Amino acid sequence: MTTTAAWTERYTGALMNTFGPPKLVLVRGEGARVWDADGREYLDLLGGIAVNALGHGHPRLVAAVTEQLQTLGHISNFFASEPQVELAERLVALLGTEAHVFFTNSGAEANEAAFKLTRRTGRTRIVVTEGGFHGRTMGALALTSKLAYREPFEPLPGDVVFVPYGDLAALEAAVDDTTAAVLVEPVQGEAGVVVPPADYLPGAQRIAHEHGALLWLDEIQTGVGRTGTWFAHQNPALVSDRVVPDIVTLAKGLAGGIPIGACIATGGSGKLFDPGNHGTTFGGNPVAAAAALAVLDVVAEGLLDHATRIGARLKAGLAADPRVAEVRGEGLLIGLDLTEARSAEVAAAAQDAGFIVNAPTPERIRLAPPLVLTDEDVDAFLAAWPAILDTAGVTEGATA
Ligand SMILES: *Cc1c(COP(=O)(O)O)cnc(C)c1O
């Protein structure tokens, strides 16, 4: 039995079967590369699902976490810590408008915090989009449209209305003076990187505000430089006009792999919670906050432009194969549609060839690699890409 097979067997014996069998057993990472239990090397083009912004084992992240843990590791929210306050200030500054922050440990928890915050408006209705993904806890799941995720757990918290994504007329029809918030992702990540028209977010903002509702952007996947700007709603390639959301939720890339989430609310929305309304034991933990500060520092040193440039190269290279029907996304959040519904086969063939990619739907491949991906990494993947499609049996046939 290989080492991988042995660990997989132990995994199956000890862990709940929520994720299906693991695709690999990984033991080590460095930069954009990881190694499995049998010593095979992979280029990680998924980055822990848009999490490992600095790649694996980045010395600045390791140093920040080590130093903070040696100084002060955890204190509870009865007390404040320096990294927590500094991180909140930094995020507000990046947002560019007055705001207040609540820290969590995950994306779902950031959305739970925001969901509760919207209830403090005195209204309950949330308008959300079909194909959106907001997390697996009961509240976040109530805001997530996919039936397979929802149905086994109904009844879910109510007063949630779904509208088609990217459709301002549908939003206009659904939002009224009872709406507490409109919740959208600037780009739908889990759906396979679906990009709305550039006037969608500005339009959603106008519609929400006409009815006194909050505009809540889930930037859990798109935030912290992923699309080449600090927030996707600030990306001129994605939005046609200035957008100032009332709520922004963050998580994934924020601390480069250390668990963290943030619910940020601007203006008066940032003051809707009173003491006792919400809480968390670990949220704002000094080690997680120090990790996030290190990520923000390193990303600020040129990784935004790097992600934009290298993402454009990757997109152009992938689109050159006629078996790719469409490529979408900005920076290093990239989705593509195959001419045939063989994405699982493509992901498997890519893995056999030493590349980790993700197949979020039967037709789509998603890439969310570390922002430190190099030109050489891109060259290596693009060189292997046609053969990966060959192995997966994708033809130029009719569009799936
Ligand atoms: C991943 C994700 C979440 C959920 O985050 P978790 O940390 O898995 O709870 C929510 N919204 C979006 C857009 C995401 O991509």
Give the 3-state secondary structure of 222-250: CCCCCCCCCCHHHCCCCCCCCCCCCEEEE
Nearest to 315 by CA among 304, 329, 295: 329
Q: Is 220 in the pocket of ligand 1 (CB under 6 A)?
A: yes
pLDDT reported for residue 338: 98
Identify the bridge partners of residue 250 per DSSP, sorted by sequence position: 262
The token pair that represents 382 in the structure block: 């693009």
- Which ligand 1 atom sits closest to the C-alpha of 251? 7
Q: Residues 36, 103, 252, 355: which is the catalytic one?
A: 252
Question: Domain spans of the chain?
Answer: 4-57+302-392, 60-298
* Order of strands across the sheet that contains 333-338: 324-330, 333-338, 364-367
B/e letters for 171-206, b = 16+ CB within 10 Å, e = fewer, are bbebbeeebbbbbbbbbbbbbbbbbbeeebbbbbbb
The token pair that represents 281 in the structure block: 């034991």
Q: How far is CA 246 from the centre of its chain?
A: 19
Active site residue 271: no
Distance 107 CA to ligand 1 centre (A): 4
The pTM of the full predicted model, rounded to 2 decimals, is 0.98
pLDDT digits (tens, 9 = 90+) for 313-325: 999 999 999 999 9
CATH-assigned architecture of domain 4-57+302-392 = Alpha-Beta Complex (3.90)
Identify the bridge partners of residue 183 per DSSP, sorted by sequence position: 128, 216
Q: Residues 36, 44, 218, 246: which is the catalytic one?
A: 218
60-298 belongs to which CATH class?
Answer: alpha beta
The segments of the chain whose pLDDT lies below 70 read: 398-400
Among 145, 165, 190, name the best residue to mutate to test ligand 1's pocket (greatest count of ligand atoms within 8 A of Cβ).
190
The token pair that represents 251 in the structure block: 């998580």
The token pair that represents 36 in the structure block: 């499995």
Pair 130, 162: CB distance under 8 Å: yes
Question: Where do the DSSP E strands lie in the chain?
Answer: 26-30, 33-36, 41-44, 99-104, 125-129, 160-163, 179-184, 214-218, 247-250, 261-266, 324-330, 333-338, 355-356, 364-367
The yes-or-no answer to whether 4-57+302-392 and 60-298 have a common fold is no
Spatial distance between the Cα atoms of 78 and 281, rounded to a whole number of angstroms:
9
DSSP for residue 302: I
Pair 397, 342: CB distance under 8 Å: no
Helix or strand holding residue 5 (H, E): helix 3-14
Q: Is 308 in the pocket of ligand 1 (CB under 6 A)?
A: no
Task: State how beta strands 247-250 and 364-367 pair.
Answer: unpaired
pLDDT reported for residue 400: 46
Helix or strand holding residue 82 (H, E): helix 82-95
pLDDT reported for residue 398: 60
The token pair that represents 76 in the structure block: 């509870």
**CA-closest residue to ligand 1 atom 10:** 134
